[in-house]
Amino acid sequence: MKKLLTLVTFLFLFSSYSQKLTKDISLSKKIDETSGLEIVDGQFITHNDSGGDPKLYYLDKKGKIVFERTLEGVKNNDWEDITKDDQFIYVANMGNNFDTRKNLSIVKTPIDPSSNEAELIEFNYPEQVKFTTAYSQSQYDAEALITIEDYLIILTKNKLKKITEIYALPKIAGKYEAKKIGSLNTQSIITGGDYDPETKLLALTGTLIFNEYYILKIEDFDLESKKDYKIDMYEIPIGKTQVEAIKIIDSNTFWITSEDEKSSSSARLMKIKL
């Protein structure tokens, strides 16, 4: 296992670019609260957030549900993101709107869909001392989970400071204190994330006041060096809807999902070109 360095300095640059949707697919009412997105063997995998069944939904390229996988022995308290490595899928049961939860966890399950076994990587934030907060001031909510080498990386949804704090966890089941390794001055509230280990591209989704959503790109992101990071921010041209998941296709093309809201007729799976 490589030594995990503390990341200490970050630079934010706001940029305005032209971007467009190249695909816009309506999703089943079963996944109205889609809140994470992964791709395994050419199929999309998503899930609902708080209060739903502990299910992973597998979709074909047209967004149709082809398989529902119910994980055993776990609950969907507030599933907010999904990531994977070569052997396992990790689901972020870490939604925490009011900073009240003391049962935060990552659900770990084999990537092989024939097994529904699951185990928990339970964690807490050691800096947290207050467990009730107004929604607009919460600092220990999180909706972005990525994997880098031996670590699971949490990027928080700090609504008070409009930054994202970065925490690391091992991938082994157990109980841990999440290790804070840095922060990004995103000047926005982070709602989803993905990472490409080959290009070292970190992609996040975020919002300012929940009426417009953005893609944030951070290039050459890693855990092994201290550096300033340039953050490019792109508005997602879909109006008022809740974007909470992103999947990198290449450096300028992404899949995203949005929940079903009053402004839309269904949840949506979209491809966006920057």
Distance CA 182, CA 205 (A): 18
pLDDT of residue 103: 98
**In the block, residue with structure tokens 């990472």:** 195
pLDDT, one tens digit per residue, over 100-150 is 999 999 999 999 999 999 999 999 999 999 999 999 999 999 999 999 999
Instruction: Report whether 205 contacts 243 (CB < 8 A).
Output: yes
pLDDT of residue 146: 98
Amino acid letter, residue 182:
G
pLDDT of residue 50: 83
Distance CA 253, CA 256 (A): 10
pTM of the model: 0.95
Distance CA 41, CA 27 (A): 20
The burial of 272, by beta-carbon neighbours within 10 Å (0-12 exposed, 13-18 middle, 19 or more buried), is given as: buried
Residue 99 has pLDDT above 50, yes or no: yes
pLDDT of residue 211: 85
pLDDT, one tens digit per residue, over 204-249 is 999 998 889 999 999 999 988 777 788 999 999 988 889 999 999 9
Q: What is the tally of helices (H) and strands (E) in the chain?
A: 0, 21
φ and ψ of 135, to 5 deg: -50, -45
Distance CA 37, CA 34 (A): 8
The overall longest dimension of the chain from CA atoms, in Å, is 48
The two three-digit tokens of residue 103, written as one number? 């049962």
Distance CA 42, CA 59 (A): 9
Residue 87 has pLDDT above 50, yes or no: yes
The burial of 172, by beta-carbon neighbours within 10 Å (0-12 exposed, 13-18 middle, 19 or more buried), is given as: exposed
Exposure letters 49-66 (e unless 16+ CB within 10 A, then b): beebebbbbbbeeebeee
Nearest Cα residue to 171 out of 139, 145, 201: 145
How far is C-alpha 130 from the chain's CA centre? 24
Question: Hey, what domains does the chain have and what are their CATH numbers?
Answer: 20-273 (2.120.10.30)
Distance CA 268, CA 32 (A): 9
